[in-house]
Amino acid sequence: MKATILIIDDNVKWCKSLAQNFVQRGYTPVYATTSTEAHDLLARTAIDLVLLDIMLGEENGVDLLKDILLLQPRLPVIMITGFGSIDTAVQSIKLGAFDYVTKPLEFDKLLQLVEHAMNVSCSRDYAPESFASDFPELITHNAAMLALCEKARKFAGTNLPILICGENGTGKEIIADVIHAHSTRSEKPMLKINCSAFPETLLDNELFGHEKGAYTGAETVFKGIFERAHGSSLFLDEIGDMPATIQAKILRALQNHEIRRIGSERVIKVNVRFITATNKDLRQLITNSAFREDLFYRLNVATIKLPPLRERKEDIPLLAEYFLAEHAKTNPTCAQRFSEAVIARFVSHSWPGNVRELKNTVHYAATICTNACIDIPDLPPHFLPKRSPQSSDNIRDDMERALILDMLQKTNFNKKKTAELLNMSRNTLYNKLEKYGIGVPE
């Protein structure tokens, strides 16, 4: 089946004439004469390509282009312009339009451009040209992120210590992986340790190792992560949670490239590239005497600060599409796209858990959804619209619905186990699933 093409122009007669030409070539055209009609069609129809006139009566086609690309960033849009507005058409391409054509149209040439745009769209990966081409793991159209990627690429070719800062879930470990992968040490795996995951004595042991007999139970020699990372990169996550005694040892390793195992005075030379990450304000920790100032300046040579997702809203639809496609690789029958309302809700959400929260939300919705398109009811409970005013019955229903969804998620959507945990029969559970509009994949 040929593609569905959305024609947007305020001239109804012209839209119908162009639509008829596409019908004769086997395409399915639909048309809109206002931005409101266009949004409505985009929300309820799977559109493969848009033809958008720059002049929409009193409306601005460029503004509509921005809206379309925000909600569906991979949708190819061809701008239609008169000779007097070619500069605006060129500006539209800079904003993300695929190309432009001028009126009066030559249909055969337009058709060639449409087919070319469709072919490019089908073959396009989730890292378009404006992404950092050397960093396909980082999906972005955001100017700050693109600059960050360029900085990371430059840092990757050096042996400088790198400090990655950012809130939880912003992708600090991904940046570390990418830097190592593009470094001269990439032939060896980068070793990682989360400094907040171990009590002080265990962290000391994991980092520096121990000699046989160093303490009760140390029956053999153990090489710590510093020794095992020799010649490679070492990623120290949550460096701000590192105890003071360990900080002193890390400083020595940075300054002198040497360590000592627990229970030994023998100096062991190590050659590692330090990549560290934190979600804390290290300068404030220094002020509070919780982090060594000399260690900070040793680590803070090449710094990368990741912006939170709420500051890169243009990336939210891109990331959501990527995570949905990622989920579909192992769940081929899951939903294939998002409704416009869902994308709008995603863009307006504050995402305190950042990219990690978005990924989990998409995977949850894709699992819950029983249709081809993920819609608002498929989202986690905190995304659902609140009733106002709330009756006690509504509050109770909301709480029960949220509880059922939570139990379904915990049991990997096993209805039998969910019913047991909720202390209800399976028939009762089925009735409540129907009542609350909860779809569970079979």
Is 294 found in the same domain as 161? yes
Is 320 found in the same domain as 300? no
Buried b (16+ CB within 10 A) or exposed e, 169-201: bbbbeebbbbbbeebebeeeebbbbbbeebeee
8 assigned to some structural domain? yes
What is the count of structural domains for the chain?
A: 4
278 assigned to some structural domain? yes
9 assigned to some structural domain? yes
Query: Cα torsion at 151, 153, 158, 160 (round to 10°)?
Result: 40
Place of tokens 């934190």: 278
164 assigned to some structural domain? yes
Give yes or no for residue 301 having a pLDDT over 90: no
Range of the domain at 333: 311-375
Q: Which of 289, 305, 321 is the last residue of a domain?
A: 305
Is 157 found in the same domain as 298? yes
| pLDDT per residue as tens digits for the range 331-349 | 888 888 898 889 888 988 9
What is the mean pLDDT of the segment spanning 136-162?
81
Give yes or no for residue 64 having a pLDDT over 80: yes
217 assigned to some structural domain? yes
Give how far Cα 183 sits from Cα of 3, 173, 179, 227, 271, Å: 43, 15, 6, 19, 14
Is 195 found in the same domain as 148? yes
249, 258 contact by CB (below 8 A): no
What CATH number corresponds to the domain at position 435? 1.10.10.60
What CATH number corresponds to the domain at position 290? 3.40.50.300
Give yes or no for residue 191 having a pLDDT over 70: yes
Q: Which of 92, 123, 154 is the last residue of a domain?
A: 123
Is 295 found in the same domain as 219? yes
pLDDT band per the 50, 70, 90 thresholds, residue 131: very low
327 assigned to some structural domain? yes
Is 330 found in the same domain as 397? no
Give yes or no for residue 127 having a pLDDT over 50: no
Is 154 found in the same domain as 16? no
pLDDT band per the 50, 70, 90 thresholds, residue 194: very high
For residues 386 and 398, give the distance between their C-alpha atoms in angstroms, rounded to a whole number. Answer: 9
Residue 442, pLDDT score? 58
Residue 177, pLDDT score? 92
Is 281 found in the same domain as 180? yes
Residue 135, pLDDT score? 58
pLDDT band per the 50, 70, 90 thresholds, residue 245: very high
| pLDDT per residue as tens digits for the range 75-104 | 899 998 875 556 677 678 777 888 888 888
77 assigned to some structural domain? yes
Is 294 found in the same domain as 241? yes
Residue 253, pLDDT score? 94
Q: Which of 375, 401, 427 is the last residue of a domain?
A: 375
Is 154 found in the same domain as 33? no
DSSP conformation letters of 118-170: HHHHHH--SS-TTS-TT-TTS----HHHHHHHHHHHHHHTS---EEEE--TTS
Residue 33, pLDDT score? 93
| pLDDT per residue as tens digits for the range 377-426 | 999 988 876 655 555 566 677 777 777 877 777 777 788 888 887 878 88
| pLDDT per residue as tens digits for the range 25-61 | 999 999 999 999 999 898 888 899 999 998 887 888 8
115 assigned to some structural domain? yes
For residues 408 and 404, give the distance between their C-alpha atoms in angstroms, rounded to a whole number. Answer: 6
For residues 179 and 235, give the distance between their C-alpha atoms in angstroms, rounded to a whole number. Answer: 11
Amino acid sitting at position 38? A
Is 296 found in the same domain as 161? yes
Residue 119, pLDDT score? 80
Is 316 found in the same domain as 301? no
What CATH number corresponds to the domain at position 81? 3.40.50.2300
Name the least confident of 239-248, 269-278, 393-402, 411-420.
393-402
